[in-house]
Amino acid sequence: MFADPNVKRQDGSDILNVAWFGSFDDDAVELDATDPARNARLRDQLVHSLAALRPALSDPKIGDVVAGMLNLYDHRSIMAVGEQVVLVNWGALPVAATASEAAFAKHTDGTIGRFLQGDQSPRIPGKPWTARGLIEAPRREFESPLRTQTPAQGAGVATKTAETIQVRRPARLWPPALLAALFALILVYLLVPGNLIYEKEEAPDPTALAALETSNGELTKKLTMFTTELDKEACAIDRTLVGLPPLADGATPAAAGGANP
């Protein structure tokens, strides 16, 4: 979480350049510049990471050092690198933040204090100032309101709940009852005389039936004739059926090559 500082002097002058390095390989952006979903994940991760420092902050040997590391120069010192939160410019404060305890608390609230628990605070070496975090410490035990009720009160709650269920249960019958009434109305409408009118069946036309019978008779004759011709030898089939002139009496068709069959 804490980036590693690398301090170098600029060209032998009194100006110090600090470069911050970390082990995460991704582009670094300000935490407040991330999209809402990613911002929520990273903020939750930072809160849990800072909460894990509680034993170190209370340690008599390193507590002051860790508390001093929680000081950030500005809100842009909290960076997002991929899905990780990295702190840069830590352990440093602007001059205005060291003017008074109130200024220190205000500066902390705008930087790291947003993510600290209420029992955590950064500190300035040599000053007794504190700036408690803005997050309420989680309750260690979940207390249900039912634990403080007497047996009589508990029975009253149970009775009231049962009555509420009994009152609301009939409301669930409305959808099927409404559908049943709708189908009943449709059925009554269909059964009322006059709503369903069918056209009367007309008698068939005798002329059309006679023409149909004549056509069927002609087709039957042709089918019979074709069946009879198919049973004959090829040379004996009626030539007129295939559009050829009939043979002269006593003549026979010539076979291939001019030979008589």
Q: Where are the domains of the chain?
A: 4-115, 208-246
Per-residue pLDDT at 253 exceeds 60:
no
Range with the poorest average pLDDT among 38-47, 63-72, 232-241: 232-241
| Helical H segments across the chain, by residue range | 36-51, 54-57, 63-69, 101-110, 151-168, 174-191, 206-230
The pLDDT value given to residue 23: 85
The pLDDT value given to residue 96: 93
The pLDDT value given to residue 197: 63
The pLDDT value given to residue 77: 92
Cα gap 257→139, rounded to integer Å? 117
Which of the four pLDDT bands, split at 50, 70 and 90, describes residue 181? confident
Sign of the four-CA dihedral 20, 23, 28, 31? negative
Per-residue pLDDT at 171 exceeds 70:
no
Cα dist. 233→10, 47, 247 in Å?
Answer: 120, 106, 15
